[in-house]
Chain A
Amino acid sequence: MDLFLFLTFALIAVGCAMNLLAQRHPISSALSLIGVMVSLAVIYLLLGAEFIAAVQVIVYAGAIMVLFVFVIMLLNAGEEARTRRSLLVRLFGIPLFAVFLTLTGYAVYLAFADEPAVKFGAFVGTTEALGQSLFREYLLPFEVTSVLILVAILGAVVLARKEVR
């Protein structure tokens, strides 16, 4: 059952990701990205990381992607025109992609071949366990990240602010 669900949602995720590239309209691409986010959340859930799964849906699918869709709608972005691809791309595009895929796959295989396979549901992803490790073991990285995000927000405000004479 776990394997069946994993395969289903992994396929949906990959399918949505490819659809994202294939679609010509930004809204359709954004929708495909939402599909990727939600299927990733299901995979987290299969691993037992329930909190991460919920946060994935709330933050990525429910907030960030709404913002994406908002901006696309606000700018009223239309369908993209298909350009004629350059000779280089047409000749070497697919072979180079295949080489890249093989190399990445081989690197991943080299790195993780000896590791035992992931067991579904084995990961301790309860909210409590996550909170404990976040605020005990990884307190410094957590705080540094939050300061980093604060700096980014301040930067955005400064950039967006109109000059007052």
Chain B
Amino acid sequence: MILLAVVKTLVVAVALLLTLLYIQWVERKVIAHIQRRWGPHRTGPHGLLQPLADAIKLLTKEDLTPPHANKFLFVLAPFLAVTLALLSIAVIPFGNEVEIFGVRTPLQLTDLNIGVLFVFAVTSLGVYGIVLGAWASNNKYALLGGLRSAAQMISYELSLSLGVVGALLLAGSLSLGQIVESQAGYYWGWIPRWSVFQGPWPQAVGLLVYLTSAFAETNRVPFDLPEAETELVAGFHTEYSSMKFAMFFMAEYANMITVSCLATVLFFGGWHAPLPPDGPIRFAPAAALALAAGMLFYHAGGAARGKQRLSMHLFGAIAAAAAAAFLTPAARALLSPLFWFFLKTGFLLFVYIWVRGTLPRFRYDQLMHFGWKRLFPLGVANVLATGLMIALFG
């Protein structure tokens, strides 16, 4: 039992850290292509070794502590930020109950009765990492960034919770595993009963409110005022360098992953497939991977550089092998839920990056105005409407 828990924790932790490493590569590539650039392209094939190079660079940089900084809090703050950001992945369900090597286990570290509240509690504490780090730096730009962060967190946390309440009312539970279960099934055999589509009151508005406030909670563009580099040098992490800076960086991306996972679980039916899983949709993962393999092989033929020709063939072969694996019934039953979960979460993460490449930053007064006078009433209205519709037709 303990061994199983340790193995699961290790797998999730390693997968999360790898995702953290490579999501910035994806982000740089996507932003680059939005701006018609190549993005990282020199370190390894298509810049795939860039995250490792960045990690080495950050590790070997000089670690500065400014004079007159509060030493204890200055060191504590990045640890606090990254620990709390990594913690909430523990309650996210990635898939249904599976049997691996004769052991039955749900693909989830732990299913708390109050899973949603746990995530909110942990993320609400995460702001201290930013605020305390900013204050302990003894730098006016950092302090301004920290102040903005605190104000923004308090304002948008309300909308974040209100956006979720509708989906919770539909599911009738706070446990993330049961919330996913409640979204199983399909209307007329083809519309999934996900919260965004589920009757009596589909949660499209709730999703909008949740996602918008999640952008603000994770300090991402267009709500990245705490680190607005055109106004505040680098905002709350102005004085941080080396590993401590990397920790703040990791915390931001880990928070992004958490809120995307939570959106998948609450609004997009978690690991449920978009069409009945025993229909033709069961071949979709294999088809998608086969398509990727085909594209890689095709482009490998026309690639200009010899080095890339080799690597693209390699990745093509990996994708083809994965596609073949999805064709065997046993592997399909095991991997399909994971495939759908990661596809949905990956799409939401892509939306994050897409928005960053598209929208400019809010002004501070616009941020507060939008949060309190637009998003908050919209969230309340959605909760009232959901409650009313459930009472009448639920």
- Chain A positions within 8 Å of B, measured between CB atoms, are 27, 31, 34, 38, 50-51, 54-55, 57-58, 61-63, 66-67, 69-70, 73-74, 126-127
Contacts and interface: CB of A to CB of B under 8 A. Distances in A.
Given A27-B135, A58-B121, A69 B154 contact: no
Interface residues of chain B: helix, strand, loop or mixed (majority): helix
B150 A127 contact: no
Nearest to A62: B124
A70 B147 contact: yes
Contact of A70 (B120, B125, B151): B151
A63 B117 CA distance: 14
Count class of interface residues, chain B: 20 to 34
B128 A34 contact: yes
A38 B154 CA distance: 18
B23 interface: no
Interface of B: 73, 112-114, 117-118, 120-121, 124-125, 127-128, 131-132, 135, 143, 146-147, 150-151, 153-154, 157, 174
The 7 closest A-B pairs by CB, nearest first: A62-B124, A54-B117, A57-B121, A70-B150, A50-B114, A54-B114, A58-B121
29 contacts: A27-B135, A34-B128, A38-B125, A51-B114, A54-B114, A54-B121, A57-B121, A57-B124, A57-B125, A58-B117, A58-B121, A61-B121, A62-B120, A62-B121, A62-B125, A62-B127, A63-B154, A63-B157, A66-B128, A66-B131, A66-B154, A67-B154, A69-B131, A69-B150, A70-B131, A70-B150, A73-B135, A73-B147, A74-B147
Given A54-B118, A73-B150, 4 more contacts: A55-B117, A66-B150, A126-B113, A127-B114
Contacts of B128: 34, 66, 69
Nearest to B72: A28
A57 B127 CA distance: 13
A89 B373 CA distance: 51
Interface residues of chain A: helix, strand, loop or mixed (majority): helix
A50 B121 CA distance: 12
A67 B131 CA distance: 11
Given A51-B117, A66-B153, A69-B150, A61 B125 contact: yes
A22 B153 CA distance: 29
Given A27-B135, A66-B153, A67-B154, A73 B120 contact: no
B258 to A, nearest CB: 15
A11 B344 CA distance: 45
A57 B147 CA distance: 21
